[in-house]
Structure formats: C-alpha cells, structure tokens
A = this chain, B = another copy of it.
Amino acid sequence: MTTPVVAIAYHSGYGHTAVLAEAVRDGAVDAGAEVHLIKVDEITDEQWALLDRADAIVFGSPTYMGTASGAFHVFAEASSKRWFGQDWKDKLAAGFTNSGSKSGDKLHTLQFFQILAAQHGMHWVNLGLHPGWNNSAGSEHDLNRLGVFAGAAAQTNVDEGPEAVHKSDIATAEHLGRRVTETARTFTAGRTSLAA
C-alpha cells in the first residue's frame, strides 16, 4: 500500500493557524501519510519541489479582512509558475482557516482556496462532516461546530493565544487531515491499479 504524500502550505500570523496546521498534520500522520508542513512566507526551492511531488496540498491561512493573509496571497500568486505547465493538475487540494469571529467571512477564504485549486486543475476535497449540533442543549463539543463544509474552520477568541484554539476545531482539522490522506490513498491506488 502506498504512502500518500500530503503537503500543508500555510501561513500563520499569531500562531492560531499553525495549531490547525499541526492538527491537519496529526490527522494525516494518523492515517498513514508522509506529511510536510510548509510555511509559505519562508518557502524554499526545496519546499516548492515538495509541493510538486505531493499527492495532496492542504492550504491554510488566517482570515484577515475577509480573505487569506497577504503573505498567503503572495505565495498563491507565485504558484503561477506551476500553473503555466499545469504541474499540479490532478493533485488533491483542501483548506483550513481561523478567525476571531464565528463566521467572519471564513467561507470567502475557503472559496479562494477552491478557486486557486481550480486554476491548478486540482480536485477539491470537502470536509465531509455534518455540522455540529447547534441545539438547545448547546453542545459546542462536536466536530464542525461552526457548520462549514468546504474545509476546516476555526474560531479563536481575539484576546487569547494559540493555546486557546477550540478543541472541537482542532479535532475538525485532524479529521480533514485524515480525510485528505485516505482520499489520496484511494486515488493513488486507483492509478496504480489501472496502470497495471
């Protein structure tokens, strides 16, 4: 059985998004992936090469002013070098984001990740979770407590540090890491099987 290669290309401003990136990594490792955490604001040529050979790239950024951070956008623009040759075509893509508000235009950040993946001809892996139950019992402990579907979303209070990232949001990001890995494994096994 092949080992899926999952790259997590992320920017974190104050450490909250880094916590999510590590959760995605943990989920992916748990599902058997070789995982590479890549800070896009410090990306090296070697790391670009890691992205090129990954089976799946998971994009991550805080949501600032309603979209990904400036640093992430600079990376996204630089990825146009891979776009010309459609080097990332048919890879899997997914995404995660954190902001200080429950909603906070996080959907727009995830949709930007989807647009970026579409330009690259990648396949988009959605979260695949029901929303956590928002019922009169008031549970905040379920996966996907915010009810986001295109990726993993987190809300962290604006006066708290990375240690305060919500446990449910971390578990949701871990779920995404596992799901991306399992989907990548299926795809790769399919390619191998059809080529045999």
Residues on A facing B (Cβ under 8 Å): 1, 64-70, 73-80, 83, 86, 89-90, 99-108, 111-112, 114-119, 121-136, 138, 145-150, 153, 155, 157-160, 164, 183, 185-194
Contacts and interface: CB of A to CB of B under 8 A. Distances in A.
Given A149-B115, A157-B136, A104 B80 contact: no
Contacts of A104: 131, 146-148
A39 to B, nearest CB: 16
Contacts of A132: 101
Given A106-B103, A114-B124, A189-B194, A158 B135 contact: yes
A63 to B, nearest CB: 10
Among A90, A118, A153, the most chain B Cβ lie within 10 Å of the Cβ of A118
Nearest to A90: B128
B67 A73 contact: yes
9 contacts: A64-B77, A65-B115, A67-B76, A102-B103, A118-B149, A135-B158, A186-B194, A187-B190, A192-B193
A114 B191 CA distance: 25
Contact of A77 (B70, B83, B89, B111): B70
A114 B112 contact: no
B164 A136 contact: yes
Contacts of A128: 86, 89-90, 121
A121 B101 contact: no
A163 B74 CA distance: 27
A108 B101 contact: no
Contacts of A114: 111, 114, 124, 150
A136 B124 contact: no
Contacts of A89: 128
Given A134-B155, A135-B157, A194-B189, A123 B124 contact: yes
Contacts of A146: 101-104
